[in-house]
Structure 1
Amino acid sequence: MPAISKKGIQMPESPIRKLVPYAEDAKKRGTKVFHLNIGQPDIKTPQVALDAVKNNNITTLAYARSEGSEEYRTKLATYYVNNNIDVSANNIVITTGGSEALLFTIGSITDPGDEIIIPEPFYANYNGFSTASGVTVVPVISSIENNFALPKIEDFEKLITKKTKAILICNPGNPTGYLYSKEEIEKLKQVVLKHDLFLIADEVYREFTYDGLQHTSVMSLEGLEQNSIVIDSVSKRYSMCGARIGCIVSKNDEFIKTAIKFAQARLSPPTYALIASEAALDTPQRYFDEVIEEYVERRNTLITELKKIEGVKVANPKGAFYCVVQLPVKDTDDFAQWLLEKFDHNQETVMVAPASGFYSTPGEGKNQVRIAYVLNKKDLIRSVEILGAALKQYNS
């Protein structure tokens, strides 16, 4: 029998999606499942984006330009300029989701055996993208004790070797919801300039910041033009996860030229999704104001309810729509599967994402889960009620 590649065997399962078969079986048994495991907002997609697809007069669905249409990139550049990121259309490559943007970025700046330093816990697919590229993730651990703040710069520096090519952050963070301050971004700027590294920032949750705090993009710092790369996407900003449109933004011309070669190899991003994404840029500010207000209320509701459960510790997110929760169990992988296989509370249960999949350090996060507060407040309250009842039964 032909052998599977070592890379394929090493490819990690998604902690967000690996339990889906158990959730589907639970639903077949008549159990309602509240999905706290995945960042799929229930917020409506802007109507202007949907109408752009519905009302177009395309007669031949042709290839798009590999780096995305000039019209869309120009309009997108205006969006960035309005967010204190001074770029042009030539600094942008459109990708099939933020995932492809990360793959193109890693492929453009690393060779097999190279290393990328990432504060953990981190978006689980960073492990997968690195494995697919033959790159090693070097984690620097942040802690729930200080709300997952940026680790000390000394912790980064002691990990830097000749194989280190970049530091990668998610800001605001998935899965932690942590929002890096301008001072923290400045500290990272100094270390990447000192060691001649790239600073990659996954900024797909840029709009979602709370408590009066402001987002600082790595592209807004002077002197970092040749070292900074932004990963972005329409998925969360406009509740358009199914569009699969993302982008890479950088003022490093050699990097952009290289990324375009990867874009040419996969031909083009999807045409209809480009149309929707370009139209979405006309979404009025009141849309975001209302969405942010809703997420703040959901966050506050979730945190309040979780703190009522004995033995639970929860970080307080300042952005995105996730939080990491420490539970009074030894193995949340087992607990999360048990919730779907063997437990229900009045024919209802919850699906969570075990946090061990958001770490690359063995043994870390085994008693934590990520919760996405993308459900309405009533469902969040009920979900936490179910979680509390489940913990009592599981630990009895």
Structure 2
Amino acid sequence: MPEISSKGRQMPASPIRKLVPFAEQAKKRGTHVIHLNIGQPDIKTPKIALDAVRNHTIEVLAYSMTEGSEEYREKIAKYYEKYHIQVTSQDIIVTTGGSEALAFVMGTIMDADDEIIIPEPFYANYNGFATAAGVNVVPIVSSLDDNFALPPIDQFEALIGPKTKAILICNPGNPTGYLYSKKEIQQLSELVKKHDLYLVADEVYREFTYDNTEHYSILEEPGLEKHAIVVDSVSKRYSMCGARIGCLVSKNKDVIQTALKFAQARLSPPTFAQIASEAALETPQSYFDAVIEEYVERRNTLVDALQKIEGVRVAIPKGAFYCVVELPVTDADDFAQWLLEKFEMDGKTVMVAPAAGFYATPGLGKNQIRIAYVLEKEQLITAVNLLAEALKHYRSL
């Protein structure tokens, strides 16, 4: 029998999606599953984006430009101006989601067995992108004790070796909700310039910052033009996860020209989704003001309720819409599966994402879960009540 590749065997399963079969079985039994496991907002997509597709008069659904339409890229550049980021359409490649942008980055700046340093816990698919590219993730641990702040810079420097090519951060963070400060970004900037590395920032949650904090992009940092690469997406910003439109942004022309070759191999990003995404850029600020207010209320509701459960610890997110929760269990994977297979109360149960899959260091995060607070406050309260009752039953087994 032909063999599967070693790369295929090493490809990690998604901690966000691997429990889906158990959730589907629960639903077939008639159990209502409250999904806290995935960052799919229930916020309505801006009508202007949907109308742009609904009202279009395309007669031939043709390829777009490989790098995305010129009109859309010019509007993206104007969007960045609002955030003190000076780029042109030539600094942007439109991609099929932020995922493809990350894959292009890996292929552009790294060779097989090169290393990329990432603070953990991190977005679980970074492990997958690295495995697909034959790249080695070098994790550096951040802690719930300080809300997953940036680890000390000397710890980063101690990990830099001859194979190190880049440092990757998610800002604000998935799964932690941590928002890196301007000072922390500047520390990373000095480090990558000192060692001639790339600094890659996944900034898809840029709009979602709370408590009078502001996002500081690596593209704002002076002197970082040759080192900075940003990955972005419309998925969360406009509640358009299904559009699968993102972009790669860098002022480094060699990076853009090389990434473009990877983009040419997949021909072009989807046309209708670009039309919707271009229209979404006209979304008024009032939309974001309302969304941020809603997420703050959801965060506060969730955190307050979780903190009342004995033995539970929770980090306080400053951005995005996730938090990492430490549970009084030894194996959150087992607990999460048990919730779907064995537990229900009033015909309901909860689906969470075990956090071990957001770490690269074996053994870390085993007693943690990630919760996405993308549901209405009433559902969040119900979900936490279910979790509290489930923990009582599970710990008595």
TM-score by structure 2 length? Answer: 1.00
Q: Distance between the aligned counterparts of 2:29 and 2:359, measured in 1? A: 33
Tell me by how many angstroms 1:82 deviates. 1.4
Matched, 1:25 2:38: no
Q: Secondary structure at the match of 2:159?
A: coil
Residue in 2 aligned with 1:217?
217
Tell me by how many angstroms 1:233 deviates. 0.1
Write out aligned runs for 1:179-328 (5 A). Answer: 179-328=179-328
Residue in 2 aligned with 1:57?
57
Q: Distance between the aligned counterparts of 1:243 and 1:255, measured in 2? A: 25
Tell me by how many angstroms 1:259 deviates. 0.4
Structure 1 gaps, min length 5? none
Q: Distance between the aligned counterparts of 1:345 and 1:308, measured in 2? A: 19
Residue in 1 aligned with 2:393?
393
Tell me by how many angstroms 1:191 deviates. 0.3
| One-letter code aligned to 1:205 | Y
Q: Distance between the aligned counterparts of 2:371 and 2:84, measured in 1? A: 31
Identity fraction in percent: 71
Residue in 1 aligned with 2:142?
142
Residue in 2 aligned with 1:111?
111
Matched, 1:71 2:75: no
Residue in 2 aligned with 1:350?
350
| One-letter code aligned to 2:183 | E
Write out aligned runs for 1:93-132 (5 A). Answer: 93-132=93-132
Q: Distance between the aligned counterparts of 2:82 and 2:282, measured in 1? A: 13
Tell me by how many angstroms 1:113 deviates. 0.4
Q: Distance between the aligned counterparts of 2:274 and 2:349, measured in 1? A: 37
Q: Secondary structure at the match of 1:166?
A: strand
Q: Distance between the aligned counterparts of 1:86 and 1:151, measured in 2? A: 29
Q: Distance between the aligned counterparts of 1:133 and 1:257, measured in 2? A: 19
Tell me by how many angstroms 1:154 deviates. 0.6
Q: Distance between the aligned counterparts of 1:342 and 1:112, measured in 2? A: 43
Q: Which deviations, in whole Å up to 9, do the C-alpha atoms of 1:156-199 show, x marking residues without a partner?
A: 00000010000000000000000000000000000000000000
CA RMSD of aligned residues (A): 0.3
Tell me by how many angstroms 1:277 deviates. 0.3
Tell me by how many angstroms 1:306 deviates. 0.2
Q: Which deviations, in whole Å up to 9, do the C-alpha atoms of 1:323-350 show, x marking residues without a partner?
A: 0000000000000000000110111000
| One-letter code aligned to 1:221 | E
Q: Distance between the aligned counterparts of 1:2 and 1:81, measured in 2? A: 53
Aligned length: 396
Q: Distance between the aligned counterparts of 1:350 and 1:324, measured in 2? A: 16
Tell me by how many angstroms 1:119 deviates. 0.1
| One-letter code aligned to 1:92 | I
| One-letter code aligned to 2:375 | L
Once superposed, which parts of structure 1, at least 4 consecutive aligned residues long, lie more than 2 Å away? none
Q: Secondary structure at the match of 1:378?
A: helix
Q: Distance between the aligned counterparts of 2:356 and 2:155, measured in 1? A: 21
Residue in 2 aligned with 1:359?
359
| One-letter code aligned to 1:195 | H
Matched, 1:177 2:173: no
Tell me by how many angstroms 1:101 deviates. 0.2
| One-letter code aligned to 1:7 | K
| One-letter code aligned to 2:393 | Q
| One-letter code aligned to 2:216 | T
Q: Distance between the aligned counterparts of 1:264 and 1:72, measured in 2? A: 18
Q: Secondary structure at the match of 1:158?
A: helix
Tell me by how many angstroms 1:81 deviates. 1.2
Residue in 1 aligned with 2:152?
152
| One-letter code aligned to 1:216 | Y
Q: Distance between the aligned counterparts of 2:191 and 2:46, measured in 1? A: 40
Q: Distance between the aligned counterparts of 2:163 and 2:115, measured in 1? A: 6
TM-score by structure 1 length? Answer: 1.00
